[in-house]
Amino acid sequence: MRVSHFTSYLVAMVALLVISGLSVGTVYADIAKGQKNYKQKCATCHSLEKGKTGLGPSLYRVVGRKAGADANFKYSKGIKVAAEKGLVWDREALIAYMKNPRKFLRKFVGSKVSNKMTNKFKKLEFRENVVDYLESLQKK
């Protein structure tokens, strides 16, 4: 039996809807995972409230923020010099920094600078989810 154009069109549309629904579902799942990751691995040192400095600087609206921008926090030389050189925490920078802050700063600055965040987060998925979560807070 020959399937009419209309039927195949319908099938294609339904398939598209299912696929896009799935990917939206995945993004929400990533945000939820990212929130959990953040609470477990970042929140002890980083508040998300503006100006609320802890062991680490506040990460209020950190995606797209200039490095070293929490005025209450005493940053390492690494962050200070990187900020002078124009470091902005976009998605890529955050993902690379979390993997190995010291290495990231040394590479960005181009010399052996100091660093105060000693935690390293190896899993790419973990880091991506954290950034998805942080980004989602800024869309509100």
Q: Is 90 helix (H, G, I), strand (E, B) or coil?
A: coil
Using the rule CB under 6 A, give the single segment among 4-12, 16-24, 26-34, 42-50 that binds ligand HEC: 42-50
CB 66 within 8 A of CB 83: yes
Out of 48, 53, 56, 99, the residue judged to bind ligand HEC by CB under 6 A: 56
Tokens 């579902």 found at: 25
Asked whether position 124 contacts ligand HEC by CB under 6 A, the answer is: no
By three-state DSSP, how is residue 96 classified?
A: helix
- Under 8 Å between Cβ of 118 and 23: no
Which range, of 4-12, 21-29, 50-58, touches ligand HEC by CB under 6 A?
50-58
Q: Which amino acid is at 62?
A: V
The contact pattern for ligand HEC, residues 60-89, with x = CB under 6 A and - = no contact, is --x----xxxx----xx-xx---------x
Task: Assess 34 for contact with ligand HEC (CB under 6 A).
Answer: no
Q: Check residue 104 for interaction with ligand HEC (CB under 6 A).
A: no
Report helix, strand or coil for 25: helix
Count of Cβ atoms closer than 10 Å to residue 48 Cβ: 16
Q: Closest CB to ligand HEC among 19 and 124?
A: 124
DSSP secondary structure letters along 57-86: ---TT-TTPBTT--TTS---HHHHHHHHTT
Q: Which is nearer to ligand HEC, 45 or 137 (CB)?
A: 45
Interacting residues with ligand HEC (CB under 6 A): 41-42, 44-46, 55-57, 59, 62, 67-70, 75-76, 78-79, 89, 94, 97-98, 115-117, 119, 121, 130
